[in-house]
Each structure stands twice: as structure tokens, then as C-alpha cells.
Amino acid sequence: MTLWTAQEIAAATGGTASADFAVSGVAFDSREVGSGDLFVAMSGEATDGHRFLDQAFGQGAAGALVSNPTDHPHVRVEDSFRALQDLARASRARTSATIIGVTGSVGKTSAKEALYAALERGWRGAVHRSVKSYNNHTGVPLSLARMPRDMRAGVFEMGMNHAGELSALTAMVRPHIAIITAIAPAHTEFFSDESAIADAKGEIFQGLQPGGTAIIPYDSPHRDRLIAAARPYADRIVTFGFDPAADVRAVEAMRGTRGGSFVTAKLGDKELNFTLSQPGRHWVSNALAVLAAVDAAGGDLGLAGLALAELGGLAGRGARFRATNGALVIDESYNANPASMRATLAVLAEEPGRHVAVLGEMRELGEDSADYHAGLAEPIVAARVERALLVGESMAPLAAALEGRVDFVHVADAKAAHEALAGFIAPDDVVLIKGSNGVGLSRVVAALRGDTATGGA
């Protein structure tokens, strides 16, 4: 299927095509280039994508977007990053799809994947989404540029760690529906307080198209602030949560026999009973936001409920597997902040068996970092953790708070964490692994899977 022709790329970017070619995909990482792709050769601080043109074409690239001369089929522009943004805008301009933007301090990737699954269940092959966590100034335009022209819906995750970033992204995405999953302490190093985080997340509403819908967490202490941010741009504001006053609310949420939840949800005069495969109150909240978006997009709520029942955990964000010795591992290694730490420890608390927690430090928390880390002591105790492995220098305040209350080991890095864990866990244990991505706990996860090539052993 042709995604872009050389002439379309040239018209969108103001560039010059060296030859006629057609591409079926777009990539800016040469390692991800596949057959038929357009390789966007961008120059960055660390490296220059033009160095990898031969590799990209060796892997099957059909053309390239370049700012330097090359003998390969290409469209040449002055600035390849700006050209990628232009291509993204052209993709957005040509589509008639319902566009949904998702942001939040926690849960945005999980909610994006759940929403994609819920819409795809009814609109097979006609729903596009951003992959992985491509949610920044390069990932969002890449995801837009990859969107086929004949989609019915597109779901785009948008992230930020500074004020003003989301306003730029949402101006490019121009969503019909904008979701904020939750507001919580994250990237607090760059914000004066949590209200400032709410203001920065609220920028997503600035890109709403006429007739657009804003979806807001009712139970958030920043609800009124978010509603005020949405009101100038949204034709309709929908709240979700557990409070009876929420527009989309959980009337009942009970733990299921297989670890998930059985939920009864009300959406105005509609009621939906569904099973949610993923455990935890935070996942029920995500599911309510997803249902609100499906309803706003005109999707099938019944099919959405079936999709939520079948939703698997994402690698690094709740995926579960059995370690080589049989222990159950909950992989939350991709990211962490105080809210998500508490949420996943609450999930661990409900699991049968001996509880082991491998917890990496939480980064970008600014001057309150010590208090945020020490504040995890009570959730750890409540989760009945029998041994905690605390990873990273910033975990020192938590170690002090746990002294005499929980058996723990404080280590410097992921490699040391795996060494401390080896030989300790038993087949009936439940092991939670969670920390900021930069800590590298994914290596511990890989080692427990038996992947010694990437593990921490």
C-alpha cells in the first residue's frame, strides 16, 4: 500500500525529488527501517542520520528525506526535521479520520493502547496509533506521517516535561477528542507545583477542532482547573471517574477471579458491564477514559468492552510473565513517579504469594525528591512486601524510612539489583519491578526471562 509518493513528499515539504518512488512507511531510526520505508535522515546532537543512508537502503528503504547530497532515491530539503513536521501536517490535512489525543502524568501509553484496541475491534484495519512511546517533538510528527490516508480514527499520545511543549504538539495533531488521564507528580524538577503540571497538560485542549470533546478526570484535585483550560476550546466536556457526579463513572468495580476487574460503568443513560483484564483501580480509571472516547468517536461500546477484556499488559507497563524459576513477574520497568508507584504497589498487595519489590529511583522530581521517595514506605508496608530491592542513590530516604519495618537491600544499579535478587526468589513469589526508565531495570526483567544477552547477569 502506498503511503506517500515522491511527488507528494516533495509537495508537502517544499523539497526536490531525485526520482519517482513510493513508500509504504516512515522511519527516522535506521535500525527500524523496513522494506518500502522512507528514511528521514535527521542531523542531531549525537549523530547524523545521513551517515546511515547505505544501511537504510540495505534494509530495503525505497527513498530518503535528506538535507545533504546522496545518490540514493530521495527528496532533498533544507532541514529534514522541519520537513518531517511538514509531512506530518500534510498527513493530518488529508485525512478525514477522527483524531484523538492522549496525555497525562500517568497512564497515557496504556490508555492509548487500550483505546486503539477498543476502536480497532469495531473498525478493523481502519485505526492508526502512535507506536511505543513516540510522544515527543520527533515521535508525534513521525506517528502522524505514518498514518494511512483512509483511516477512520487516529490515536496519538502526547507527552511533555516543560510548559509549552504540548501546545506545539496539539497544534500539529489537531484532535477532535482530547484526553487527560491523570495529573500527578512527574517532571516536577521543571515545574513549580502540581498545578503547573495541570496547566501544562491542559495545553492539549488548545488544538481541539470545532465541535471537539475534552475528556477530564473528575476525581482529580485539578478537575476544575482542567475544565477551565478546556472550556475556551471544547464544544463538549466529559468527565470520568468513580464519583457519582462524573459523566462516565464506575458504579461498581470488583476484583475478578483472574486478577482483573469486573466493572459496571454508566455513560449518561447507557450502562455497560465488562471485564477488564488488567488489575488495579488505576486501570479502571483508564478504562473509563477509553469508554468516554469511544462514545465520543461514535464507536461501539459493546465491542470496546470485549477489547478491554482481552487487553494484554505492555512490556514495561504491567506485562506479566513467569521467570525461569516459575515466579510471577510484574514488569513495570519503563517508568515511575509517586502516583504510579503507589498504584502498582496496590496491585501487588492483592496478589497471593510472597511479595518481592524491585524499585528503582524516581527521576526528575526536583527539590522534593527525598520526600517523594520516603513517602513510598507506607505503600510498601501495606503491600506486604517481604523484601525490597531499592535501586539508585535517590532511594536513600526510602531506605531510612523502611529501616526496621521491611527487609530491604539498597544497591547502586540494575546489575547489582539482579545479583541481589538471584538465588532469593522462589517459584511462588510475586516480583514487582518498577522504576524510572533510566535506571535500566529492563535488564533485570530480561534476566528473569532468561535472556542473558540483554539481562543484568
Binding positions for ATP:
104-110
DSSP code at position 32: G
CB 179 within 8 A of CB 166: no
Q: Give the β-pairing of 127-129 and 261-267.
A: unpaired
Closest CA to 171 of 204, 213, 216, 211: 204
Closest CA to 38 of 95, 97, 87: 87
Residue type, 170: T
CB 358 within 8 A of CB 417: yes
Burial class (CB within 10 angstroms; exposed 0-12, middle 13-18, buried 19+) of 99 = buried
DSSP code at position 60: T
CB 106 within 8 A of CB 194: no
Rounded Cα–Cα distance for residues 135 and 170 (Å): 11
Give the other-Cβ count within 10 Å of 451's Cβ. Answer: 13
The whole-angstrom distance between residue 57's C-alpha and the CA centroid of its chain comes to 30
CB 140 within 8 A of CB 134: yes
- 59-62, long-range: CB within 8 Å, 24+ apart, which pairs? 59/30, 59/33, 59/34, 59/35, 60/33, 60/34, 60/35, 60/36, 61/33, 61/36, 61/37, 62/21, 62/22, 62/23, 62/24, 62/35, 62/36, 62/37, 62/38
Three-state SS at 309: helix
Residues with Cβ < 8 Å from 171, sequence gap 6 or more?
206, 207
Phi, psi of 142 (to 5 degrees): -60, -45
- In the block, which residue shows the cell 515521535? 139
Rounded Cα–Cα distance for residues 258 and 152 (Å): 34
Beta partners for 411?
A: 391
CA gyration radius, the chain? 23
Per the annotation, binding residues are 104-110
